[in-house]
Structure 1
Amino acid sequence: MSDLGITEIKAFLPSRDYALSQRFYQDLGFTRASEGGGVAYFHRGHASFLLGDFRPEGPLYLHLLVQDVEVWWQHVHGCAVARTYADQGVTLSAIEQQAWRMRDFVLTDPAGVVWRIGQNTD
């Protein structure tokens, strides 16, 4: 099979309120690197995604694998996005041990995108 030249793959997230979703992700600590034509590019470290100015048809689920779930939970909690955007449907769960050998928590964004953020366990 020949090299098809794939550079990366990233999620394309919807938004109910494009400006609100951009503020949410910036408050969460992501950098908006560019924006235009209804698409904004966000990144933090080696993780990146596109945010689109379109409404979701149904819930989108994403998984972010991290080295230390406690550090990430403290970061998300410390950003206060769950409190700041609570009236927009944003929620933050506690960390739980899952049967599939992972500790994770759930963060729901203003458009209903469900992020499972976790680390592998033995």
Structure 2
Amino acid sequence: METVEIKAFVPARDFDLSKAFYTDLGFEVAFSDDSLAYLKAGECAFLLQRFHVKEHAENFMMHMLVADVDAWWRHVDATGLAEKYGVRALPPQDQPWAIRDFVLFDPTGVMWRIGTNIDRNAVESLP
């Protein structure tokens, strides 16, 4: 019972705008047609779908573990991604669950937590 991959279907209110957002974030569009796009960054991938139900989209969350969260944040900040797409982005912070992450919302309202594992002992010593 070997597994190979699991991918989420991420909703998009404006499919073309969302594809542009994810490309600017650092994903590559490996495949796209009129209703579905396969987006990849390294070994991480998801399917962007031309589908939108407000309540679903605004409660949809993704988590991506990266090697260097601060490098990803610098990219988001330097490219003005939040301003360009009118979305919210909150800078990285160390979390009590031993991840340093930042929060980024896409143009549909999907929340992403992008983070790096950190030493649990260092987190436990935080005030």
Report the Cα distance in structure 2 between the residues aligned to 1:44 and 1:65, rounded to whole angstroms.
Answer: 11
Aligned amino acid, residue 75 of structure 1: H
SS of structure 2 residue aligned to 1:94: strand
Q: CA deviation at 1:7?
A: 2.1
* 1:85 matched to 2:96: no
> Cα RMSD over matched residues?
1.3
Counterpart amino acid of 2:92?
Answer: I
1:34 Cα deviation (Å)?
1.1
Higher mean C-alpha deviation, range 44-53 or range 58-67: 58-67
> TM-score scaled by structure 2?
0.84
**1:104 and 2:96 matched:** no
Could you say what secondary structure the match of 1:105 adopts?
A: strand
1:74 matched residue in structure 2: 74
SS at match of 2:18: helix
| 2:35 alignment counterpart | 38
How many residues are treated as equivalent by the alignment? 116
Gaps (5+ residues) in structure 2? 120-127
Name the aligned partner's letter for residue 78 of structure 2: G
Runs (4+) of structure 1 exceeding 6 A deviation are none
TM-score by length of 1: 0.88
Aligned equivalent of 1:20, options 17, 20, 23: 17
